[in-house]
């Protein structure tokens, strides 16, 4: 028992001090835990704090970048260049209405920007066209020649501002001539429609024989001496509703007329006997009309001055030509439409 002596007063003061110290320490712990979660204060119980699960950060939107177009690769821009020499060689060309075994084109000092050329050479081997054939054709032109560069770039037409003069040579073999004349299209053009009135034969066959026709099938040409030519064919000669087969042989002189090929001095025979010169003249006009394009073309006008025949082999031509344009392409119709078929120029009608 603690009395009221001095010692008892000191003990009571010590107990009060200890009580205040303990209370102060407990308050400090609570305040520290409230201000700093997770902080461990000596003498206290450690508290575990559960943190929220972190969410993934959404990726940043990338700006839209248009695809890069590759730069066109051009080794040679002919349409806007100038060249000391340009050569083009084509073998075994099959075109819309024709074919060429070999083509060689050479141009000297060609300026596509200014539209000028100082030399042009064209060599064709084995040209097969609806209007004619040849084994060799050569055109050479030298000088200052001006053309329209826009037409050349856009339409593939070498349009000269002034027609140029060129030296020309050609060779036609007997073999190719036979292939051309024996073609069904050529024979059809040589024939005379049976329903067509031919007044020139009225005196021969009678005034009532107004409907007359000659249909040719098969043809054979032989080149002979002294520039003569023999043309044989099987003809069906019809009048009204009847037709009669008749072998025909046309013997004529091969020459030049107005700078182009023509036959003259003709004799028409059947089974060894000569028949009417009127019928012979009609057939000759049809033969001469086959090649009339050579002197009437708007693109090239030939003017041959020399002709030589090698019997049984070939005949050759030399002369000049005026070239207005050379076509290296054609304009195609709109999609869905077919290009127009080639229509040969009409042959001259028989005359009275």
- Over residues 247-258, the pLDDT tens digits come to 989 899 999 988
Domain assignments of the chain as residue spans, ordered by start: 80-171, 175-320
- Residue 226 tokens read as 């002294």
Would you give per-residue pLDDT tens digits along the chain (352 residues)? 545 556 666 666 666 555 655 555 555 545 445 454 554 545 544 555 556 666 666 666 666 677 777 666 655 667 778 899 999 999 998 877 788 999 999 999 999 999 999 999 999 999 988 778 889 999 999 999 999 999 988 888 999 999 999 999 999 999 999 988 888 888 888 776 544 444 444 444 444 445 567 788 888 999 999 999 999 988 887 665 566 788 989 899 999 988 888 888 888 888 888 877 777 777 777 777 776 665 567 888 889 999 999 999 999 999 999 999 988 765 544 444 444 443 444 444 444 3
Q: 134: which residues sit within 8 A by CB, 6+ positions away?
A: 124, 127, 170, 171, 172, 176
Q: How far apart are CA 239 and CA 196, in angstroms?
A: 10
Q: 146: which residues sit within 8 A by CB, 6+ positions away?
A: 115, 116, 160, 161, 162
Q: Could you tell me if 258 and 288 are in contact, meaning their C-beta atoms sit under 8 angstroms apart?
A: no
Share of the chain above pLDDT 90, in %: 31
Across the chain, where does the E strand assignment appear? Answer: 82-94, 99-111, 116-128, 133-146, 157-173, 212-223, 228-239, 242-257, 260-270, 273-274, 300-310, 314-327
Q: 243: which residues sit within 8 A by CB, 6+ positions away?
A: 194, 215, 236, 237
- Over residues 293-333, the pLDDT tens digits come to 655 678 888 899 999 999 999 999 999 999 999 887 655 44
Q: How far apart are CA 312 and CA 296, in angstroms?
A: 29
For the chain, the average pLDDT equals 76
Q: Could you tell me if 148 and 116 are in contact, meaning their C-beta atoms sit under 8 angstroms apart?
A: no
- Residue 168 tokens read as 């020309």
Q: How far apart are CA 337 and CA 330, in angstroms?
A: 15
Cα dist. 350→109, 184, 212, 338, 341 in Å? 49, 21, 12, 34, 26
């Amino acid at each position: 028992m603690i009395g009221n002596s001095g010692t008892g007063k000191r003990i009571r003061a010590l107990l009060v001090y200890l009580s205040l110290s303990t209370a102060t320490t407990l308050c400090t712990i609570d305040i520290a835990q409230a201000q700093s979660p997770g902080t461990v204060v000596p003498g206290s119980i450690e508290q575990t704090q559960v943190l929220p699960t972190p969410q993934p950060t959404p990726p940043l939107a990338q700006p839209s970048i248009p695809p890069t177009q590759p730069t066109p690769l051009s080794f040679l821009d002919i349409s806007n260049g100038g060249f000391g020499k340009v050569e083009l060689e084509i073998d075994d060309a099959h075109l819309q209405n024709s074919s060429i075994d070999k083509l060689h084109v050479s141009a000297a000092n060609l300026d596509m920007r200014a539209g000028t050329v100082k030399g042009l050479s064209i060599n064709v081997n084995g040209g097969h066209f609806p209007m004619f054939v040849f084994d060799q054709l050569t055109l050479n032109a030298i000088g200052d020649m001006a053309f329209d560069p826009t037409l050349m770039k856009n339409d593939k037409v070498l349009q000269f501002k002034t027609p140029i003069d060129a030296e020309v040579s050609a060779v036609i073999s007997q073999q190719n001539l036979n292939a051309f004349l024996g073609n069904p299209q050529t024979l059809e053009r040589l024939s005379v429609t049976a329903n067509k009135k031919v007044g020139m034969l009225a005196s021969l066959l009678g005034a009532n024989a107004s409907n007359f026709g000659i249909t040719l099938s098969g043809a054979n040409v032989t080149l002979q001496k002294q520039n003569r030519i023999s043309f044989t064919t099987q003809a069906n000669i019809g009048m009204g509703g009847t037709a009669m087969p008749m072998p025909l042989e046309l013997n004529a002189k091969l020459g030049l007329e107005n700078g182009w090929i023509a036959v003259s001095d003709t004799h028409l025979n059947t089974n060894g006997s000569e028949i009417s010169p009127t019928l012979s003249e009609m057939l000759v006009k049809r033969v001469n009309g086959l090649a009339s394009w050579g002197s009437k073309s708007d693109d090239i006008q030939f003017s041959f001055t020399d002709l030589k025949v090698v019997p049984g082999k070939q005949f050759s031509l030399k002369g000049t030509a005026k070239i207005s344009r050379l076509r290296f392409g054609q304009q195609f119709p709109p999609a869905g439409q077919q290009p127009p078929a080639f229509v040969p120029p009409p042959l001259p009608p028989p005359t009275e």
